[in-house]
Amino acid sequence: MSKITLGIIGGGQLGSMLCMAAKRLNVKTVVISDDVDAPAKNFADKFVFSSYSDNENIKEFLSQVDRITFEFENIPFKILSYLNKVKPVNPKPQINKLIQDRYLEKNFINSNNIRTTAYVKILKKVDIENNRKFLPGILKTRKFGYDGKGQYKINTLNELNKLKISFDRKFILEKKVKLKKEISVIITRFSKNEYEIYEPIENLHREQILRYSFIPAKINEDLQLKSQNWAKKIVEKLNYIGTLCVEYFIDEKNELLVNEIAPRVHNSGHLTINAYNISQFENHLRAVCELEKIKLKKICNAKMINIIGNEINKYREKKYNKKEFFFDYLKKKVKSKRKMGHLTIIES
């Protein structure tokens, strides 16, 4: 068994689930978060409450860990690359820098002959007026968006005039896709170009927030293979180590388009905890800590429900049967549109 101490940047539910998986592998965890009430505090062996730019705390964190990973992508490149000079950070800072910017991310994907939605970079309002062909569209901040935050739906120029958008941030404008389905593919790449890949997961969103994920995705074999092949190509091109998720759109013509990449474990993969022999979290740890790669085996079909806002109260009181797995993220504050927990239901 390993005697590695892994530093995890970020203390949300993804961090918590990484810590839970680490316990099974005998990997010690030190979580650093700028949220004093970070959920992962309850699951980490050690918790450091600090701003990510506090030099003293960062040095202290560095001295306590052997390797470093992260559970969210909005970490300044400067900090990740400083850390990486002292202890190995995976995925590599350069990869995170590319993917955390929606414009650079989409350029990278297209440069590898993989399709995305049509998009254009936007600096000022007039850039939208000059790019009408992207309407109806969605204006997205290039950086720091999640769960639909930092996004504006713009159907017409008339609508644009009514929106109060501050252009002190950079944006991209994406053409709205007539969605037939959304799916995601989770892959873990290890050193020596070895990987394990999960089957495509079908995802349903409401108000741009993921509500349900399930396997098997109801898609044809072509889309199944293509979505997995593109995910393999992406991790290879990035020389990626760890778990990564590719979010896809399938449009009304059954065309596959990449929506975005997450250089980390992903919400749609929570069901891998119960549906596979090795979860996306455990595989991530095995890859970044250079532990043994174990052949992935599916155990059963499954469905996951995200529990949002005060829905959590009802789920906390419910009784569960053997096929239902309730995860409470133990967040102190209930907020609307905030992911508070999830329930996985397995079919067996």
How near is the Cβ of 247 to Mg ion at its closest, in Å? 5
Phi, psi of 202 (to 5 degrees): -90, 135
Are 142 and 101 in contact, with CB atoms under 8 Å apart?
A: yes
Tokens 């102190």 -> residue? 332
253: Cβ contacts below 8 Å, ≥ 6 apart: none
Do β-strands 5-9 and 67-70 pair in parallel, antiparallel, or remain unpaired?
A: parallel
The dihedral formed by the CA atoms of 258, 259, 265 and 271, expressed in degrees to the nearest 10: -90
Which residue, 13 or 259, is less far from ligand ADP as judged by CB?
A: 259
Q: How far is the CB of 335 from Mg ion (least distance, A)?
A: 19
Residue 161 identity: N
For residue 154, list its beta bridge partners: 137
> From ligand ADP, Mg ion, none, which one binds at residue 177 (CB under 5 to 8 Å depending on kind)?
ligand ADP
* Total number of residues that touch Mg ion (CB under 5 A): 1
Site for Mg ion in 211-250 (CB under 5 A): 247
Binding mask 247-286 for Mg ion (x = CB under 5 A): x---------------------------------------
Q: Which does 196 bind (CB under 5 to 8 A by kind): Mg ion, ligand ADP, none?
A: none
- Pick what 90 binds: Mg ion, ligand ADP, none; C-beta below 5 to 8 Å, kind-dependent: none
In angstroms, give the least distance from the CB of 202 to ligand ADP. Answer: 12
Q: Which is nearer to ligand ADP, 17 or 177 (CB)?
A: 177
Cβ closest to Mg ion, residue 247 vs residue 282: 247
Residue 134 one-letter amino acid: F
| Ranges within 3-22 binding Mg ion (CB under 5 A) | none
Q: Which is nearer to ligand ADP, 101 or 182 (CB)?
A: 182
Q: What are the φ/ψ torsions at residue 221 (nearest 5 degrees)?
A: -65, -35
Structure tokens at 120: 């254009």
The binding site for ligand ADP (CB under 6 A) comprises 117, 138, 145-148, 174, 176-177, 179, 182, 205, 208, 247, 259-260
Least distance in Å: CB of 110 to ligand ADP?
15
Q: Which is nearer to ligand ADP, 155 or 191 (CB)?
A: 155
- For the bound state, the minimum distance from the C-beta of residue 155 to ligand ADP, rounded and expressed in Å, comes to 12
Alpha helix ranges (H) inside the chain = 13-25, 55-64, 77-86, 93-99, 102-111, 125-129, 157-162, 221-238, 272-275, 280-288, 311-317
Instruction: Using the minimum distance from each CB to ligand ADP, give the nearer residue, 146 or 212.
Output: 146
Determine the straight-line distance between the first and last CA of the chain, rounded to whole angstroms. Answer: 31
The Cα-based distances of 206 to 34, 49, 139, 147 in angstroms read 29, 33, 18, 10
Using CB under 5 A, list all residues that contact Mg ion.
247
